Amino acid sequence: MKTKILTILSNSDGYVSGQQLCEQLGVSRTAVWKVINRLKEEGYLIDSVSNKGYRLLSQPDVVTSEAILSKLQTNYMGRQVFSYDEVTSTNTVAKQLADEGKEEGTLIVSDKQIQGKGRRGRYWESPKGSGIFMTVILKPKMKPVYASMLTLVAALALNDAITDLTGLEAKIKWPNDVVVNKKKVAGILTELSAEVDYINYIVVGIGVNVSMKDFPEELKDKATSLLLESGKSIGRAQLIAKTMEYLECYYERFLKTHDLSELKETYSKVLINKDQVVRILTEDDSYTGVARGITDEGHLIVEKDNHDLVEVYSGEVSVRGLYSYT
């Protein structure tokens, strides 16, 4: 009911009478009053005026289930939310919940991560309250080998949500970073649990630097936050909800063909690598070329210096001009 009241207040410009809330929700005045008080305790600024009712003046920047659900307009993506104050990593929690059978679209969010990991176990900064740490569970019926495409689908959703809410020109560095003004603001870590030819589930972990005002010296050239770049405070719950909405939309389009054929044009438009010099570092090779786009399978197409086109599907990709690669 907290979610419902919050949703009604959020969507109303003026006052909503207690009577109206009671009727819409089929509960007593006392019940409404209790929920309003609980919301106030959580940091919601709610004006109560006799004969007029309640009006939501401001919302705290929390990532509770109610805060997210009151803003969410999806059919299934993010509709079941598990929200935590602190977790080792949202991917770890998501994997446990997925093992227990939680359904597709289940969203895990935490205010803080104490063991967040980037790709291959690298450390990812996570100060309390300043970032988004979330993971969504997906269960596409397809072979494990195609799971990597979901990273691109999620990157596209995240990129659009950031652009929408901040007005910034966000770009994607293939395959899994969102970049603003040549610095990283968000990353994605996709993991999967699978049988040989059958996906049990995929967890898509998303980390966003929302309101950090400073970064350690060694990261200053490479990382930034939405606050630093836009000067605006972005509500985390709002950004989470928006990301879920785009994700549902793009994921549905992905499922039609089980590849990126419908999305690759959209993706290429925001691909920061496009027509830029990139350096590819694999286990046994290193070369430079110019990135040209992606394939239906989400591989990066690179035109080597000798004009051969190669498909890059893993390994380290540096883009000239980004993250101190000059």
| Binding-site residue set for biotin | 89-91, 113, 184
Beta bridge partner(s), residue 301: 293, 311
The reply to whether 62 sits near a copy of itself by the rule CB under 8 A is no
Cis peptide before 127 (omega within 30 of 0): no
Binding letters toward a copy of itself, positions 105-144, x by CB under 8 A: --------------xx----------------------xx
In order, the DSSP letters of 243-268 are: HHHHHHHHHHHHHHHTSSTTTHHHHH
The reply to whether 256 sits near a copy of itself by the rule CB under 8 A is no
Sign of torsion, CA 55 81 153 175?
positive
The reply to whether 99 sits near a copy of itself by the rule CB under 8 A is yes
Exposed/middle/buried for 6, CB within 10 Å: 0-12, 13-18, 19+? buried
The reply to whether 151 sits near a copy of itself by the rule CB under 8 A is yes
Q: Which window, 11-19, 70-78, 192-200, 224-232, contacts a copy of itself (CB under 8 A)?
A: 192-200
The reply to whether 103 sits near a copy of itself by the rule CB under 8 A is no
Report the nearest approach of a copy of itself to the CB of residue 66 (Å): 30
258: Cα separation from own chain's centroid: 21
Report the nearest approach of a copy of itself to the CB of residue 197 (Å): 4
- CA-to-CA distance for 101 and 13, rounded, in angstroms? 40
Q: 252 phi and psi, to 5 degrees?
A: -65, -40
Sign of torsion, CA 113 137 99 205?
negative
Report the nearest approach of a copy of itself to the CB of residue 318 (Å): 16
Q: Which residue among 155, 192, 241, 294 contacts a copy of itself (CB under 8 A)?
A: 192
The reply to whether 76 sits near a copy of itself by the rule CB under 8 A is no
Quote the crossing angle between the two packed helices 29-41 and 2-10, to the nearest 10°.
80
Report the nearest approach of a copy of itself to the CB of residue 284 (Å): 12
Report the nearest approach of a copy of itself to the CB of residue 271 (Å): 17
By CB under 8 A, name the binding residues for a copy of itself: 92, 95-96, 99, 119-120, 143-145, 147-148, 151, 175, 189-198, 200, 313-315
